[in-house]
Amino acid sequence: MYDFGRTVIAQPSKHSMPIPPTALLAEVRKPAILIVDDAPDNLGVLRSMMLREGYQTFVANSGERAVDIALRVKPDLVLLDVVMPGMDGLEACRRLKAHPATAPIPVIFMSARGETEDIVAGFDIGAADYIPKPLRMEEVCARVRAQLRLRRAHASQGFQADRLRTIVDSMDQGLLIVERSGRIQFANPACERHVGYPPHVLAGRNLAELLDGVDPMESRGTREVNIRCRDGELRAVDLSMTPLHTADGLFVALLHDITHHKQSEDALQRAAMLDPLTQIANRRQFDLVLDKEWQRAIRSSQPLSLVVLDVDHFKLYNDTLGHAAGDACLQRVAQALEQHAARPTDLAARYGGEEFVLLFAETPADAAARLADAIRLSVQALEAPNPRSPTSPWITVSVGVATIVPTQLDVIENLFVCADRAMYAAKAAGRNRVVTTVLGAAWDAVKSAGQPAVT
């Protein structure tokens, strides 16, 4: 049995009827009141009244006993007499408020002292209310109910605040509270994973400092941005800016790391631009780069050269050695071509079948002719056997070159047509050679003659 002051709580014996769990839960949820008074009559009356109100009750007849019981049972409210021998109510309240476990418990003073300084002293110590004696029981019950409602409201608010804090701290997304000026007021722990800065370092900084040339306040909604991390790395994130519906003009900024998504997207884009067999650029990438370099050449008035080549007698090669050997041969040819596309603006691509193209920006006709012949010789130097070729015992290529300084009046398709015709002219002239032509004033002559000059 446990004795808390004058209230005795008996534990059920093993012969007692079992108590339903719901009944136990209801009992636990009853508010607990600690009544402290050195007058037995007052204790008895108050205890009976609190029991009728449905509260659990604990009683103490001294300040020392009240502090001891409060630390053990953590009541929901303390009704505390001020004038008591030994430790009075003021000192008992001071000790309760000094201890973290009992500090949140509301204390209602009961006292015959009604002077203003006594009431003020009670509130200064931390009392929640002050009831003058003699007590009016209906008033006591009303004040107790009011304080318990406040306590439940505060507890609920504290629970919700703790729950919200747990949610925010557990988020994968970085969450920032940002002022209209862009200044960061708050950052959750996930922000450190996104940008490398701990929350206390982010607070006070301007969000624009972290973004790569983007004003975070210029638009709302979600957009993809690059954010500069603590180590200087730029990381792709989705940034969402949402205004809080408050008068202080705050915004919630969410950071969602899309680095892996971007890497996968970039990998897919690269794969879409590569020929799967030779692993050099495919026709799609060639068309895109040709259009870009064509426009750049128009602006700069610089020459643009295109090389088109075809593997000689490749059908005979496939028929003799098989398609697997043919695939391996095309891979070796592609590697040889790639070595000649040395500058960032150069491009070697497989155009289709055994046909390849190379694009050289800012390259005049004579330099393009030299490059084309070096390419032809590098393929021949592979010494890939072509047993049935009437041209050479090795794999060879026929090469056509076209050069132009384009203007707005020129048509981009003519560059490829001219280079393609030059390549067929090389085949007609005996294969394993280079034929070059220059577009512009010579284009009309090329069209009328039908055959570029062999070089």
**Which residue type occupies 426?**
A
CB atoms within 10 A of CB 195: 23
* Beta carbons of 384 and 332 less than 8 angstroms apart: yes
The active-site residue, picked from 138, 218, 354, 355, is: 354
Angle, nearest 10°, between helix axes 89-98 and 116-125? 20
338 annotated active-site:
no
- The rounded distance, in Å, linking the Cα atoms of 454 and 400 is 9
- The rounded distance, in Å, linking the Cα atoms of 450 and 335 is 32
- The rounded distance, in Å, linking the Cα atoms of 64 and 38 is 11
Q: Which two tokens stand for residue 23?
A: 């009944």
| Strand partners of residue 311 | 397
- The rounded distance, in Å, linking the Cα atoms of 286 and 412 is 13
- The rounded distance, in Å, linking the Cα atoms of 23 and 27 is 6
| Strand partners of residue 130 | 109
- The rounded distance, in Å, linking the Cα atoms of 436 and 337 is 18
Q: CB within 8 A of 377, min separation 6: which ones?
A: none
Active-site residue set: 354
